[in-house]
Amino acid sequence: MVNWLQHETGGLLLLCGLAIAVLLFLIIKVKLEPFISLLVSGLLLALAAGLSVEQIVGTALSSKASLLETGFGGILGHIAPIIGLGTILGAILEASRGADVLTRKLLAIFGERGAPFAMGLAGLIFGIPVFFDIGIFVLAPLVYITAKRGGRSLVLYAMPLLAGLSMTHAFLPPHPGPVAASGFLGVSLGWLIIMGVVCGIPAFLVAGVAWGMWIGKRVMVEVPEDFIVAEKEAEAKDADQGVERPEPSLSLVLGIIAVPLVLILLATFGTVWWKDSPALPTLTFLGNPAVALTIAVLLAMWLLGLRRGIPGAELQELATKSLRPIGMILLVVGAGAFFGAVISATGVGKALASAMSDAGLPLIVLAYLISCGLRLAQGSATVAIATTSGIVAPLLKGEDFSQAHIALIAIAISAGSIIASHVNDGGFWIISRYFNMSVRDTLKTWTVLETILSVVGFAMAGLLSLVI
């Protein structure tokens, strides 16, 4: 049986399908943590495929790294500092009230009629350094106030905001999904930023602006009064405690957000534009994602923190608190990398490539469909990206894809990971609760928005892949 599985394409594909089925069963039915589910599925796949114990977990006498070590260690060494620093940067921007400044300035520029678009831009810009759910917690009260003043449905203002937050979370670093895809597929973050923007902006405009404004006029949702009361009470409490601090300027907030993006892009394209320049080593160093984000975090600590009266001890506590939620994210990505390493070692990758070639299916389409299937089945975008990237990574070996093309494949995976958010997705319930919507209304608004965002983002990536 093991012999047949190791040498027959059909057997290997069946084995991979069974491993994914076990993974989904453990997550959906057993309610096991995705990290543990990925680990168990990877171990079972390795054993069923006939890999040796030494290959899988190593031995005391072996000097060769095991799949467990290379799977976890390789990806976490790449993404852990990026995600950690990005999380701290977002927390400082949030605590400094940068979101308030950004949203109010945009509302002043676009006026009452353009308020939905202004909320979308706020989500788009503030969503770059801030996690999706944190962006909702911070910006939701501003959406309530804007909707109350406008006297229109909360949906009209919430949908563009959510599209901006979701697009950046799915397509742009330093968010866990795109950073993990970058590590799995071996593509630079510079190219991922470029392709994320090129594919993500049209998706945001269609899903957040066009669809959001259309559905916002047809689904009437009242602003929850208790949320506005709670916000006013929180502001009064802060004022009583004497913690009111001067707000940062809009240019300072935008500048700090732009610093790591600009440095990473300069390093990426410096090898093309200035390959003979003595400045290239400096650009390469400063544009390393971990170095670029470290610079941005230090600037934020000084300019948004210490200079505005936030003590160093408070900044340290803020950084510590912000890092707590990312532990499970890193473990899930690491376990996904192990799962992918097992797939590569068993030969499933080659079998999948052969089957795909016989079917005439482009790799970018396969990547999107696998990611969609995993997202629909178990709800977690991170699990969908980690598992899909692990399956797709071995298929890139031996192919002469450019960095730009691989970045588009990563975008396709990320696009698939956000399709059709429904009741098995934690984000679905956060949005339902924060924006006062029934399950039916959330399905009619948010679920459709995510599907449009996914399909348009993938369509852009697919079209670009034909010419790049």
Kindly tell me if the per-residue pLDDT of 220 is higher than 90. Answer: yes
Domain count, the chain: 1
Residue 316 maps to a domain: no
Q: What is the mean pLDDT of the chain?
A: 86
Res. 233 pLDDT band, cuts 50 70 90: very low
Query: Containing domain of residue 83, as a range?
Result: 72-254+326-465
Residue 318 maps to a domain: no
Average pLDDT over residues 281-309: 92
Residue 21 maps to a domain: no
Residue 294 maps to a domain: no
Evaluate if pTM is beyond 0.75: yes
pLDDT of residue 228: 52
Ramachandran angles phi, psi of 212, nearest 5°:
-60, -45
pLDDT of residue 448: 97
Residue 10 maps to a domain: no
For 8-61, the pLDDT digits (tens) are 667 777 887 888 889 889 988 898 888 899 899 989 988 888 888 888 887 765
199-219 in b/e form (b: 16+ CB < 10 A) is bbeebbbbbbbebbbebbeeb
Kindly tell me if the per-residue pLDDT of 393 is higher than 50. Answer: yes
Residue 382 maps to a domain: yes
Residue 314 maps to a domain: no
Distances in Å between the Cα of 295 and the Cα atoms of 201, 235, 251, 312 are: 27, 32, 17, 17
CA distance 164 to 15: 39
CA distance 422 to 206: 20
Highest-scoring range by mean pLDDT, 58-67, 390-399, 448-457: 448-457
CA distance 159 to 421: 14
DSSP for 206-259 reads: IIIIIIHHHHHTTS-----HHHHHHHHHHHHHHHHTT---PPPPHHHHHHHHHH
pLDDT of residue 334: 87
Residue 248 maps to a domain: yes
Of the chain, the percentage scoring pLDDT greater than 70 comes to: 91
